[in-house]
Amino acid sequence: MSTKQQRPPFRLDGEVALITGDGTGLGLAMAQQMDAAGAKVVLIGQREAILAQAVAAIGSGACYEVQDVRVVAAAPHLLARAGRHFGAVSILINNAGTHLKKSALETSEAELLEVINTHVTGAFALCRAAAPAMLAQGHGVILFTASMASLFGIPQVVAYTAAKSACVGLVRALAVEFSPGGVRVNAIAPGWIESPMMRKALDDDPRRQQKILDRTPLGRFGTAEDIGLAAVYLCSDAARFVTGVVLPIDGGVSIGF
């Protein structure tokens, strides 16, 4: 029996997780929880000082590589560089993102493409780079960070909504292609989670903030730790029969009224 079969179902011992998103916010929380569950983590982003700070906070089970995920031609080289730290990547978490708060009429085509290139094109390039080795091993997990904007319409974020909705399409398409080869593909759809990105969206809009809380059955915003714990579950053997799903971590907001 292999080590992976023997380990407790919620553990990630022996796994190597590549996590995009600069080692802040949700990405940092996912890295911390995966490290706690036994995985090695490789953080990817553009801001080396912040990445170094995140790695120092996590400890010896973490490292980083500086890379802009929008440079799609660099994706195979990034996977190779990441693999030199702890071995081949077995978990890919596409978490890098950018936010744009503008009405549809004010959003230019160039701005739309900029958001899509980060959330979708860059993520797809990493999937194409990581999947062959996972499929060859018959084992791997790809996880996307989706959004409430993937599930229902939200005003003033048309570019973000388009990008996150496309991520859900990728999850479904990649799941049916990769899962027969032992590679599961899923997404987490965070609700409103305390983070710099959420504060950017809500701090100047108190009415919207209260509207969100009023329709959230648990009556609070989530924490980054909530997302990290959900990521560990979806990447662990506890979710071994789960693929192609979008899991809301939202305090019930997506079913609230």
Q: Which residues are catalytic?
A: 160
Residues 6+ apart with CB under 8 A from 5: none
**Single-letter amino acid code for the residue at 173:** A
Cα(212)–Cα(199) distance, integer angstroms = 13
CA angle 86–63–90, rounded 5-degree value? 40
240 CB neighbour count, 10 Å cutoff: 11
Helix (H) or strand (E) holding 65: strand 62-66
Cα(188)–Cα(144) distance, integer angstroms = 6
